[in-house]
Amino acid sequence: MFELLNRAGYETCAVGRLDMLTAEDWHDPESLTRHVDRYFGTTGHKGPGNYFADVRNTAFYRDGKPYSIPDGGYKTDLITDFTLDFLHQRDKTKPFLLYMSHYAPHWPLHAKEADIAKYRELYRNLGWDATREQRLKRLIEQGLLPADTKLAPRDPAAKPWSEAEHLDWEAERMAVFAAQIDCLDQSVGRVMEAIRGTNTLVFFLSDNGASDKAVVGPLDKGGLTWRADGIPTRVGNHPDILPGPGDTFVTAGPAWSALSNTPFRDKHTNYEGGISSPLIAWWPGVVKAGRITREPSHITDITATIFDVSGQPYPTDFNNRSVAPMDGKSLRPVLEGKPRNGHPSLCWATGGHKAVRMTHWKLVAAPKGPWQLYDLSRDRAETNDVAAEHPERVAAMARVFEQWHAN
Domain ranges in the chain are 2-343, 344-407
What is the Cα–Cα distance from 67 to 406, expressed in whole angstroms? 44
Please give the CATH topology (third level) of the domain spanning 344-407: Arylsulfatase, C-terminal domain (3.30.1120)
pLDDT at 323 (0 to 100): 87
Tell me the pairing of strands 96-101 and 11-17.
parallel
pLDDT at 32 (0 to 100): 84
Residue-level pLDDT, tens digit, the chain, 407 residues: 888 999 899 999 999 988 776 667 767 888 888 889 999 998 876 666 899 999 988 888 999 999 999 999 999 999 999 999 999 999 999 999 999 999 999 999 999 999 999 999 999 999 999 999 999 999 999 999 999 999 998 888 889 999 999 999 999 999 999 999 999 999 999 999 999 999 999 999 988 778 777 667 889 999 999 999 999 999 999 999 999 999 999 999 999 999 999 999 888 889 999 999 989 999 999 999 999 999 999 999 999 999 999 999 999 988 888 888 999 999 999 999 999 999 999 999 999 999 999 999 999 999 999 999 999 999 999 999 999 999 999 999 999 999 999 98
pLDDT at 362 (0 to 100): 98
Query: Is residue 65 a contact partner of residue 39, using CB atoms and an 8 Å limit?
Result: no
DSSP-derived secondary structure letter, 72: T
pTM, 2 dp: 0.94
At the top level of CATH, the class of 2-343 is alpha beta
For residue 342, which of 325, 330, 326 has the smallest C-alpha distance? Answer: 330
Domains 2-343 and 344-407 in one fold:
no
Tell me the pairing of strands 38-45 and 353-358.
unpaired
pLDDT at 47 (0 to 100): 62
CA of residue 105 relative to chain centroid, distance: 9
Q: In what order do the strands lie in the sheet with 96-101?
A: 65-66, 58-62, 38-45, 11-17, 96-101
Query: Is residue 128 a contact partner of residue 174, using CB atoms and an 8 Å limit?
Result: yes
What is the Cα–Cα distance from 245 to 50, expressed in whole angstroms? 10
Query: Is residue 183 a contact partner of residue 77, using CB atoms and an 8 Å limit?
Result: yes
Tell me the pairing of strands 361-365 and 353-358.
antiparallel
